[in-house]
Amino acid sequence: MGAMDHKVIATFLISLLWFVLAVGVLMTIAIIHWRRSRVPGHTADLDLPKSPRPYCHSAVKNSLLHRPTCWLAIKNKNLLTIQSALALHNPKPCSWLEGISGDGDQKLFVSPPVNGWVLVIGSALPDPGEDIDACFRFLLDLSRKVGHVQYFIANTVLNYHAWAQMESGHVLRGYAWAGKTLWNQGPTTQAEIDLAMKCYTYTDPGEALPFSSSEPSASNSEKVHLLASRWSIDPEEIDDHFIDQEWGIVGEPSKHF
Protein backbone atom coordinates (compact mmCIF):
# COMPACT_ATOMS: atom_id res chain seq x y z
CA MET A 1 0.00 0.00 0.00
CA GLY A 2 1.48 3.31 -1.11
CA ALA A 3 1.96 6.52 0.77
CA MET A 4 -1.00 8.03 -1.04
CA ASP A 5 -3.26 5.21 0.17
CA HIS A 6 -2.15 5.74 3.77
CA LYS A 7 -2.85 9.45 3.48
CA VAL A 8 -6.36 8.81 2.12
CA ILE A 9 -7.13 6.33 4.89
CA ALA A 10 -5.82 8.71 7.57
CA THR A 11 -7.89 11.57 6.18
CA PHE A 12 -10.98 9.33 6.11
CA LEU A 13 -10.47 8.18 9.70
CA ILE A 14 -9.96 11.74 10.96
CA SER A 15 -13.10 12.88 9.13
CA LEU A 16 -15.04 9.95 10.56
CA LEU A 17 -13.82 10.79 14.07
CA TRP A 18 -14.92 14.41 13.75
CA PHE A 19 -18.30 13.29 12.40
CA VAL A 20 -18.84 10.93 15.34
CA LEU A 21 -17.84 13.65 17.82
CA ALA A 22 -20.19 16.17 16.21
CA VAL A 23 -23.09 13.70 16.27
CA GLY A 24 -22.34 12.92 19.92
CA VAL A 25 -22.36 16.60 20.90
CA LEU A 26 -25.63 17.23 19.06
CA MET A 27 -27.26 14.18 20.70
CA THR A 28 -26.07 15.31 24.13
CA ILE A 29 -27.52 18.79 23.62
CA ALA A 30 -30.79 17.30 22.37
CA ILE A 31 -31.06 14.95 25.38
CA ILE A 32 -30.37 17.77 27.87
CA HIS A 33 -32.96 19.98 26.19
CA TRP A 34 -35.51 17.14 26.20
CA ARG A 35 -34.93 16.32 29.87
CA ARG A 36 -35.29 19.96 30.88
CA SER A 37 -38.53 20.29 28.98
CA ARG A 38 -39.97 17.09 30.45
CA VAL A 39 -38.72 16.98 34.05
CA PRO A 40 -40.01 19.62 36.47
CA GLY A 41 -37.09 19.06 38.79
CA HIS A 42 -34.95 21.54 36.86
CA THR A 43 -36.83 24.27 38.72
CA ALA A 44 -35.27 23.14 41.98
CA ASP A 45 -33.15 26.27 42.08
CA LEU A 46 -36.49 28.00 42.84
CA ASP A 47 -36.04 30.60 40.12
CA LEU A 48 -38.80 29.21 37.96
CA PRO A 49 -37.80 29.88 34.39
CA LYS A 50 -40.68 30.34 32.03
CA SER A 51 -42.15 33.67 31.07
CA PRO A 52 -45.63 34.36 32.45
CA ARG A 53 -48.28 32.95 30.17
CA PRO A 54 -51.50 34.73 29.32
CA TYR A 55 -54.16 35.25 31.94
CA CYS A 56 -57.42 34.07 30.41
CA HIS A 57 -60.83 35.21 31.66
CA SER A 58 -62.70 32.76 29.41
CA ALA A 59 -60.80 29.64 30.38
CA VAL A 60 -62.70 26.49 31.28
CA LYS A 61 -62.15 25.87 34.96
CA ASN A 62 -60.24 22.75 35.94
CA SER A 63 -62.73 20.57 37.82
CA LEU A 64 -60.03 19.43 40.25
CA LEU A 65 -59.36 22.97 41.41
CA HIS A 66 -61.62 24.76 43.85
CA ARG A 67 -61.97 28.34 44.95
CA PRO A 68 -59.35 29.03 47.62
CA THR A 69 -60.60 30.44 50.90
CA CYS A 70 -57.52 32.54 51.58
CA TRP A 71 -54.68 33.78 49.40
CA LEU A 72 -52.13 36.51 48.76
CA ALA A 73 -51.40 38.31 45.50
CA ILE A 74 -47.87 39.75 45.40
CA LYS A 75 -46.65 42.17 42.74
CA ASN A 76 -43.18 40.65 42.57
CA LYS A 77 -41.98 38.05 40.06
CA ASN A 78 -38.90 36.96 42.04
CA LEU A 79 -39.93 33.67 43.66
CA LEU A 80 -36.67 33.41 45.59
CA THR A 81 -37.37 36.78 47.22
CA ILE A 82 -40.92 35.72 48.12
CA GLN A 83 -39.78 32.35 49.44
CA SER A 84 -37.19 34.09 51.62
CA ALA A 85 -39.72 36.66 52.86
CA LEU A 86 -42.11 33.88 53.86
CA ALA A 87 -39.23 31.98 55.52
CA LEU A 88 -40.37 28.69 53.99
CA HIS A 89 -38.79 25.49 55.25
CA ASN A 90 -38.17 22.48 52.96
CA PRO A 91 -39.23 24.28 49.76
CA LYS A 92 -39.63 22.10 46.69
CA PRO A 93 -41.10 22.36 43.19
CA CYS A 94 -44.78 21.54 43.14
CA SER A 95 -47.60 21.42 40.60
CA TRP A 96 -50.64 23.67 40.98
CA LEU A 97 -52.91 20.70 41.69
CA GLU A 98 -50.67 19.41 44.47
CA GLY A 99 -50.14 22.86 45.90
CA ILE A 100 -53.76 24.01 45.94
CA SER A 101 -55.33 20.70 46.98
CA GLY A 102 -53.27 20.46 50.17
CA ASP A 103 -55.68 22.46 52.34
CA GLY A 104 -55.29 20.10 55.27
CA ASP A 105 -51.54 20.65 55.39
CA GLN A 106 -50.04 23.64 57.14
CA LYS A 107 -48.08 24.61 54.04
CA LEU A 108 -47.97 27.43 51.54
CA PHE A 109 -48.00 27.15 47.76
CA VAL A 110 -46.19 29.91 45.87
CA SER A 111 -47.36 30.06 42.27
CA PRO A 112 -45.28 30.91 39.21
CA PRO A 113 -45.80 34.50 38.02
CA VAL A 114 -49.11 35.18 36.25
CA ASN A 115 -49.22 38.55 34.49
CA GLY A 116 -46.74 39.96 36.97
CA TRP A 117 -48.52 38.59 40.05
CA VAL A 118 -47.49 35.69 42.29
CA LEU A 119 -50.20 33.96 44.33
CA VAL A 120 -49.58 32.42 47.75
CA ILE A 121 -52.26 29.94 48.77
CA GLY A 122 -52.65 27.71 51.80
CA SER A 123 -54.25 27.15 55.16
CA ALA A 124 -51.04 28.29 56.87
CA LEU A 125 -51.85 31.91 56.04
CA PRO A 126 -53.03 33.96 59.04
CA ASP A 127 -56.76 34.18 59.72
CA PRO A 128 -57.97 37.59 60.97
CA GLY A 129 -60.88 35.88 62.71
CA GLU A 130 -58.40 34.05 64.94
CA ASP A 131 -55.89 36.84 65.53
CA ILE A 132 -56.28 40.11 63.66
CA ASP A 133 -53.10 41.54 65.19
CA ALA A 134 -51.00 38.61 63.97
CA CYS A 135 -52.56 38.93 60.52
CA PHE A 136 -51.83 42.67 60.43
CA ARG A 137 -48.20 42.24 61.51
CA PHE A 138 -47.66 39.44 58.98
CA LEU A 139 -48.94 41.53 56.06
CA LEU A 140 -47.06 44.64 57.14
CA ASP A 141 -43.77 42.77 57.52
CA LEU A 142 -44.20 40.88 54.25
CA SER A 143 -44.90 44.07 52.31
CA ARG A 144 -41.70 45.62 53.68
CA LYS A 145 -39.78 42.73 52.10
CA VAL A 146 -41.54 42.23 48.77
CA GLY A 147 -43.37 45.49 48.02
CA HIS A 148 -47.05 45.41 47.06
CA VAL A 149 -49.09 42.70 48.83
CA GLN A 150 -52.81 41.97 48.61
CA TYR A 151 -54.66 39.68 51.00
CA PHE A 152 -58.05 38.03 50.53
CA ILE A 153 -60.18 35.68 52.61
CA ALA A 154 -63.74 34.55 51.91
CA ASN A 155 -65.53 32.04 54.11
CA THR A 156 -68.85 31.59 52.31
CA VAL A 157 -70.22 29.35 55.09
CA LEU A 158 -69.82 31.83 57.94
CA ASN A 159 -69.67 34.86 55.62
CA TYR A 160 -66.39 35.91 57.25
CA HIS A 161 -64.33 37.98 54.83
CA ALA A 162 -61.33 40.26 54.55
CA TRP A 163 -59.28 42.10 51.96
CA ALA A 164 -56.22 44.30 52.20
CA GLN A 165 -53.64 46.17 50.16
CA MET A 166 -50.20 46.85 51.62
CA GLU A 167 -47.31 48.73 50.02
CA SER A 168 -43.77 48.54 51.42
CA GLY A 169 -44.88 48.55 55.06
CA HIS A 170 -47.85 50.90 54.64
CA VAL A 171 -51.56 50.07 54.70
CA LEU A 172 -53.39 51.29 51.61
CA ARG A 173 -56.65 49.54 52.47
CA GLY A 174 -57.68 46.94 55.00
CA TYR A 175 -61.03 45.47 55.98
CA ALA A 176 -61.91 42.33 57.95
CA TRP A 177 -65.24 41.11 59.27
CA ALA A 178 -65.88 38.01 61.40
CA GLY A 179 -69.20 38.55 63.15
CA LYS A 180 -68.04 42.11 63.78
CA THR A 181 -65.64 44.54 62.17
CA LEU A 182 -62.08 43.60 63.10
CA TRP A 183 -60.26 45.96 60.76
CA ASN A 184 -61.30 48.98 58.71
CA GLN A 185 -58.41 51.15 57.60
CA GLY A 186 -57.77 53.37 54.61
CA PRO A 187 -60.17 54.85 52.05
CA THR A 188 -62.68 52.57 50.34
CA THR A 189 -61.41 51.72 46.87
CA GLN A 190 -63.39 52.35 43.71
CA ALA A 191 -63.67 48.61 43.10
CA GLU A 192 -65.40 48.14 46.47
CA ILE A 193 -67.81 50.94 45.62
CA ASP A 194 -68.55 49.54 42.16
CA LEU A 195 -69.26 46.10 43.65
CA ALA A 196 -71.49 47.62 46.38
CA MET A 197 -69.49 45.93 49.11
CA LYS A 198 -70.75 46.86 52.56
CA CYS A 199 -68.07 47.85 55.08
CA TYR A 200 -69.03 48.51 58.70
CA THR A 201 -67.26 50.77 61.17
CA TYR A 202 -65.81 49.47 64.42
CA THR A 203 -68.80 50.75 66.40
CA ASP A 204 -71.45 49.60 63.94
CA PRO A 205 -73.08 46.36 65.16
CA GLY A 206 -73.51 45.32 61.54
CA GLU A 207 -76.05 42.88 60.28
CA ALA A 208 -76.74 39.30 61.22
CA LEU A 209 -75.71 37.79 57.93
CA PRO A 210 -77.33 34.43 57.16
CA PHE A 211 -75.36 31.23 56.67
CA SER A 212 -76.83 30.98 53.18
CA SER A 213 -78.48 33.37 50.82
CA SER A 214 -80.87 33.00 47.92
CA GLU A 215 -78.72 35.53 46.06
CA PRO A 216 -75.01 34.74 46.61
CA SER A 217 -73.84 38.07 45.21
CA ALA A 218 -75.63 39.85 48.08
CA SER A 219 -72.90 39.10 50.62
CA ASN A 220 -69.38 40.47 50.75
CA SER A 221 -67.87 37.01 50.97
CA GLU A 222 -69.29 36.11 47.56
CA LYS A 223 -67.79 39.25 46.05
CA VAL A 224 -64.24 38.84 47.31
CA HIS A 225 -63.16 37.03 44.13
CA LEU A 226 -64.70 39.78 42.02
CA LEU A 227 -62.73 42.32 44.04
CA ALA A 228 -59.54 40.30 43.56
CA SER A 229 -60.12 40.28 39.82
CA ARG A 230 -60.30 44.09 39.81
CA TRP A 231 -57.40 44.66 42.18
CA SER A 232 -55.05 42.05 40.75
CA ILE A 233 -55.98 38.51 39.74
CA ASP A 234 -58.70 35.98 40.59
CA PRO A 235 -57.25 32.48 41.18
CA GLU A 236 -60.36 30.93 39.61
CA GLU A 237 -59.73 32.59 36.27
CA ILE A 238 -56.22 31.33 35.60
CA ASP A 239 -55.94 29.41 32.34
CA ASP A 240 -56.09 25.62 32.76
CA HIS A 241 -53.20 25.10 30.32
CA PHE A 242 -50.99 27.34 32.44
CA ILE A 243 -51.97 25.37 35.56
CA ASP A 244 -51.17 22.06 33.85
CA GLN A 245 -47.77 23.16 32.54
CA GLU A 246 -46.27 25.50 35.13
CA TRP A 247 -44.84 24.61 38.53
CA GLY A 248 -44.57 26.62 41.71
CA ILE A 249 -43.04 26.07 45.15
CA VAL A 250 -44.52 24.47 48.25
CA GLY A 251 -43.01 24.79 51.71
CA GLU A 252 -43.69 25.02 55.41
CA PRO A 253 -43.88 28.49 56.98
CA SER A 254 -41.51 29.28 59.82
CA LYS A 255 -44.46 29.95 62.13
CA HIS A 256 -48.15 29.17 62.25
CA PHE A 257 -50.68 31.90 62.91
Q: Write the pLDDT tens digit of every residue in 234-244.
A: 988 887 767 76
Lowest mean pLDDT among 103-107, 174-178, 211-215: 211-215
Q: What's the whole-number mean pLDDT along residues 219-237? A: 93
At residue 156, the pLDDT reads: 82
Q: What CA–CA distance (Å, rounded) separates 189 from 156?
A: 22
Q: Label residue 180 left, alpha or beta by phi (over 0 means left) and psi (-120 to 50 means alpha).
A: beta
Question: How far is CA 189 from each of CA 74, 110, 124, 163, rounded to the nearest angstrom?
Answer: 18, 27, 28, 11
> What is the residue-averaged pLDDT of the chain?
79
Q: What CA–CA distance (Å, rounded) separates 50 from 46?
A: 12
Any idea where the domains of the chain sit in the sequence? 3-38, 48-252
Q: What CA–CA distance (Å, rounded) separates 256 from 212?
A: 30
Q: Write the pLDDT tens digit of every residue in 46-56.
A: 444 444 444 43
Q: What CA–CA distance (Å, rounded) separates 153 from 123?
A: 11
The percentage of the chain sitting over the pLDDT mark of 90, rounded to a whole number, equals 48
3-state secondary structure of 146: helix
Q: What CA–CA distance (Å, rounded) separates 111 from 96?
A: 7
Q: Write the pLDDT tens digit of every residue in 35-47.
A: 554 434 334 344 4
Q: What is the pTM of this model?
A: 0.72
Lowest mean pLDDT among 63-72, 113-122, 147-156, 191-200: 63-72
Q: Write the pLDDT tens digit of every residue in 162-203.
A: 999 999 999 999 999 999 999 999 999 999 999 999 999 998
What does the CA dihedral 162, 168, 169, 174 come to, rounded to 10 degrees? Answer: -20
